[in-house]
Amino acid sequence: MPADARIKATVYIVIKPRTNSFVWELLTDPAIFLYLDPRVTKPQFSNTVAHELHHIGLASVEARADSIRAVLPDSARPAAMWMGAFGEGFAMLAAAGGPDVHPHAVSVAADRARWDGDLANFNRDLRTLDQFFRDIISRRLATADTIQAVASTFYGIQGPWYTVGRKMAVMIEKRFGRPELIRCMTDPGRLLQRYNVAAADYNRTHSDRLEQWSPQLMGALGATAPVGSPPSP
């Protein structure tokens, strides 16, 4: 995460009907709610905590993302805001420790198999998200409630916000290095543009082609640098 990010939170260990752990009130009084499960191993617990702490650290520099979104057209601003949900993928990468570590390396076999199955739908999911963002920009999704209703379907257990987000992060880190990935975390246009460049490079040497973000979406975000161009400083 950015060097000026700060992690400060209250941790609550809870017994509740649902087994999920989550963060709360990131911008005011950050908290982590951790589901108490005696079956969870120490490495699994550490992975979950690292994931949630990454959310808290990234939220501490939210003003940077706000300033970038502020200069976008009104129609594009809500789409850019929802691109912040790719933070789930960034947190998966951070918790694993690196791009070559499976995000469920310490998980039970069923969780790892579920992730691998979901990741196999990467190209389809990227196309679906691309359409979602363009529907926001074109105002086919015109209200916050309708946008929220569609966006929530991309969470799932660890749905496209996680899988597509992590895949993009891995591609960018391997192509441009971690400092560039960290810059992309608060700049949605840069994130999508850098991924497109990395995907184009990958597609030139691999038969399993990766989908890229559409020119329409990139143009709406002002992220129209030519595919294959070097990163700016």
Q: What is the pLDDT of residues 133-168, one digit of tens each?
A: 999 999 999 899 999 999 999 999 999 999 999 999
Burial class, 24, CB count within 10 angstroms (exposed 0-12 / middle 13-18 / buried 19+): middle
Q: What pLDDT, on the 0 to 100 scale, is given for residue 168? A: 98
3-state secondary structure of 13: strand
Percent of residues, the chain, with pLDDT higher than 70: 96
Question: Residue 178's closest CA among 168, 170, 166?
Answer: 170
Pair type for strands 22-24 and 10-14: unpaired
Residue range 28-36: mean pLDDT, rounded: 93
Average pLDDT over residues 18-39: 91
Query: What pLDDT, on a 0 to 100 scale, did the predictor assign at position 225?
Result: 46
DSSP H stretches of helix in 60-159: 62-70, 77-82, 87-96, 109-119, 122-137, 144-152
> pLDDT value at position 224?
54
What's the confidence (pLDDT) of residue 232?
Answer: 41
> Residue 223 — pLDDT band, cuts 50, 70, 90?
confident
Query: Given the structure tokens 């995460």, which residue do they identify?
Result: 1
Mean pLDDT, to the nearest integer, of 215-219?
95
- pLDDT of residue 183 exceeding 90, the answer is yes
What local confidence, expressed as pLDDT, does residue 100 receive? Answer: 97
Torsions phi, psi for 143 (to 5 deg): -125, 160
- CA dihedral 180→129→142→216, nearest 10 degrees, is 70
Quote the CA–CA distance of 146 and 150 in Å, as a whole number: 6
CB contact set of 116 (below 8 Å; sequence gap of 6+): none
What is the reported pLDDT for 222?
Answer: 87
Identify the three-state secondary structure at position 102.
Answer: coil
CA–CA gap between residue 194 and residue 174 (Å, rounded)? 11
Q: Residue 166's pLDDT is what?
A: 98
What was the pLDDT predicted at 163?
98
Residue 186 has pLDDT above 70, yes or no: yes
pLDDT exceeds cutoff 50 at 90: yes
DSSP structural state of residue 107? S
Per-residue pLDDT, averaged over 203-227, amounts to 86
At residue 229, the pLDDT reads 42
Strand order from edge to edge, sheet including 31-35: 10-14, 31-35, 22-24
Range of weakest confidence among 26-35, 85-94, 205-214: 26-35
Average pLDDT over residues 42-61: 95
